[in-house]
Structures are given as structure tokens and as C-alpha cells.
Structure 1
Amino acid sequence: MTIAAAAIVMFGGGLFLRFRMIEARRAQFLAANTELAKVDVMTGSQFEHLVAERMIHEGFHRVRERGRSGDGGVDIVAVAPGGGRYAIQCKRYTRTVGAPEVRNFLGALANAFDGHTGVLITSGRLTRQAREEALNARQRLVLVERDGLADWLTGKITLLPGRRPLVGGGEPVG
């Protein structure tokens, strides 16, 4: 009986240590990639991974990277601690994000991700038309543009509702 109890304690301790190691690697990865200059040289999939890791760090769960062809116009899906579902489109752009990209994302939200809060995160900036498309959409769309991205990556602002969330245009509320 004591051998079984010891084995259970050792197994639990091993799982705890593994969890702590994963969390430490995540924190190290995020700390190493908070500068926009580093984001600017990432590939699109590396940027998506950074966004997913940041969301996990913020407390989102069931974070799934869907990027690649056939992703349905959404790169990441996640669930907020309160249960709200999020669909995220990542644009690691050095140029501006135009209205067609916003319309495509809104179409994906309306068709396959109804009920999700849409989040468009870009390392660039939105054109005036793209911002208007997003702000006038029937479905709520959170925009995180370059300056907001820098603040989000360093933890100054959050995507979580009720905790100084971002709103359209990447401006924090409150």
C-alpha cells in the first residue's frame, strides 16, 4: 500500500514539475519576443504561435492554432476564463491591412464562427477603410494594431473582458 502511495506521489510530483517547466519555457519565450522588431522578422506561423502563447499566458484555455490553408479564415480559437469563445485572425504584415482582409475575416466569423468574439491582431496598421469596416460590423470585432500589439505583448493591456480590454482601433477601455 505504501509503495502505491509513493508511486502516486512521485507521479503527481513529476506532472507538477513538467507543468512548471512548460510554464517557465512559455514565460521565457514571451519575454524574448515582446519587442516589435522581433515580431517584424517572424514568419506568419511564428507570429500565430506567439499570439497563442500570449493568450494562454493571459488565462485563455482550449487555445488552438488553426492557421495554414483550410483554416476557414481563422488562425486561432480560444475560450476566455468566463467561457466566451474567441476567433482570432493574425496578420504579421509590414504593410497595412486593407478592407478586403477585414471583410474576409468578418465573413468567416459570420459563417463558421458565429457567437465568437472576433479579434484581428496585426503587426501593421489598418487602413482607414479597414478600420471603418471593422467598427461598423454587426458582430463585435476587437482590433489590435501595431501600437496595441506592443502593449499587449508586454502585458500592459489584455484581451480579456472586464480587465482593461481592447476595443476597436486598439484603444484600451478605462
Structure 2
Amino acid sequence: MTTTPGERIPATGRRRRFDLHSTAMQFGLLAVLVLMLGLVARVAAGAIGRRPGWIAVLALLAVFVLLAVRRRRRRRRSVAQLARTTADALDLATETAMDELETEPAPATDPAASDLPASAPEPTVALPPLPDYDAMDADEFEQAVAALCERDGCTGVEVVGGAGDLGADVLAVAPDGRRVVVQCKRYSTTNKVGSQDLQRFGGTCFTVHDAHVAALVTTSDFTAPALEYAEQCGILCLDREALLAWTLGAALPPWGAPAPA
């Protein structure tokens, strides 16, 4: 068949023009993607045992790759668009991995320990109320001093005060076996124990009651001559302050204190 110069033979099909530069760029991007996937898989393989969050990272990256390949099959996309999609997927995967690494795993709790009841607070020991010695009469004061002797370990405690007591109000036996003789003076704070009171007590406590420890206890104070006589005779003097300290346990009882020289 002959054709004239003005006639054109219609094309039966359109051939795609081969672009060497575009093809090389595509293969290069695929190679980079494969290397990045291998690096991520290698890092994740070592940490997936203790970081379960890596499973989500790998799954997310795989989804992005599949979507990119699927969309590329449907229509031809430019090299720049494919590179941008791949870079976005890698950025998101890296950000998720860094968040997972920075998050410390919660410490494991012991189920048996959680079942244990909470420890109750230690009970507070209430101190006994301080006796109001000023509100007591003479007999009550003698009973209170006898209770102190018994509290601190004395045995055979007796209250013998009254008419004919011969200067002794409380008799007791100390823990070490010594005989304790106590005279009680429930005086007001303005009425001090004088030397005459000490002389009467000193005349009987040793000779009549065979005291090893002789003590005079008062709710008041002592005059200077009384203290001087007591030191000469070896009698212990407990004023108001010493009595309160003994009551509170902040001071030794009379038989625990060193005897006067």
C-alpha cells in the first residue's frame, strides 16, 4: 500500500518515554528505604522484649510503606511526592520510638504486698495526770508519797503518820533492802520547813526507826538553817521542785540518790 506524504499513520498505542534520571532516583530512594527499614528492625529486635511499644512502631511503619506502594500502583506519582511520603513516615516512626524510650516502665507491684493491711500508727502513751498536791490534806499527801515509794519498787510500804508516829509518816523497804523512813510536810509555798522540824525528825529517824535512808518531803521549801542541819545529820530534803521531778520520773527516788556526807 502506498501512502502519500500528507498522510499519517495513526499510532496504535502510546509508548512511555524512558527517563534514566527518574528511574535512578526511584531505585535510590528504595535502597534508602530498605536500609532504614533494616536499621529500625535491627534496633527493635533488641528492645522489643522489654519495650512492647516497638511492636506498634513497626506496625505503623509497615502500614505507611504498604499505602505508599499501593497508591503508586494506582497512579504514577512524582519522585518528589514519593520522597516526601517516605520522609514523613520515617519521622513519625522515629518520634514514636523516642517517646517509647523516654517512657520508663512502671515498677512491678507485689500482689501479696498489696493484700497486707496498712500498718496502724503506734498508740501514744498517755502520761498520768500530775497529782495536785496543793489540794490534798496531810493524810492524802502521806498516801501520795507512799504510792510513789511503792511505784518505784519499795516493799512493805506503810503509812504510819498520826499521833505518836515519832516523826515517821511513811515506812518502806527499798529494792536493795535498806529501810526507808519518810516524813511528809504538806505546807503552803509561803511556809518553809524550818530547822526545828528537821531536828525533831532527826532525833527519831535513826535511833528509833533504824533508818538507812531518811528523807523529808514537802510541798514547800526549806530554810537555810534547816538544810544545814539536814546535811550534818545525813537527811535527804526534797522540796517542791524535787517532789515534782520524782513524781514525773525525771529524778531518782530518795533511796537512789547519794546519801549526804
TM-score by length of 2: 0.48
1:86-165 equivalence runs, <5 A: 86-94=180-188, 95-137=191-233, 140-159=234-253, 161-162=255-256, 165=257
**Cα distance in 2 between the residues matched to 1:145 and 1:49:** 17
**Cα distance in 2 between the residues matched to 1:116 and 1:79:** 10
* Change in CA separation of 1:76 and 1:161 when aligned onto 2, cut-off 3 Å: closer
Report if aligned partners of 1:80, 1:160 keep a CA contact under 8 Å in 2: no
Q: Report the secondary structure of 1:111's partner residue.
A: coil
- Per the alignment, residue 128 of structure 2 pairs with 31
Structure 1 segments, 4+ long, off by >4 Å, are none
- Per the alignment, residue 137 of structure 2 pairs with 43
Q: Report the secondary structure of 1:52's partner residue.
A: helix
Report if aligned partners of 1:79, 1:86 keep a CA contact under 8 Å in 2: yes
Which residue type is aligned with residue 249 of structure 2? G
Among 68, 75, 91, the residue aligned to 2:162: 68
Report if aligned partners of 2:236, 2:254 keep a CA contact under 8 Å in 1: no
Output one character per residue of 1:109-154: Cα deviation in whole Å (capped at 9) or x when no partner: 13312343101101100000100010111xx211111110110111
Q: Which has the higher contact order (CA 8 A, sep 6+)?
A: 1
* Change in CA separation of 1:143 and 1:160 when aligned onto 2, cut-off 3 Å: closer
Q: Any gaps of 5 or more consecutive residues in structure 2?
A: 1-125
| Fraction of identical pairs, as percent | 32
Q: Report the secondary structure of 2:237's partner residue.
A: strand
Q: Report the secondary structure of 2:142's partner residue.
A: helix
Q: Report the secondary structure of 1:64's partner residue.
A: strand
Which residue type is aligned with residue 31 of structure 1? P
1:158 deviation in Å?
2.0
Report if aligned partners of 2:215, 2:254 keep a CA contact under 8 Å in 1: no
**Cα distance in 2 between the residues matched to 1:104 and 1:96:** 15
Q: Any gaps of 5 or more consecutive residues in structure 1?
A: 1-27, 169-174
Q: Which has the higher strand share?
A: 1
**Cα distance in 2 between the residues matched to 1:167 and 1:122:** 18
Give the CA RMSD over aligned residues: 2.0
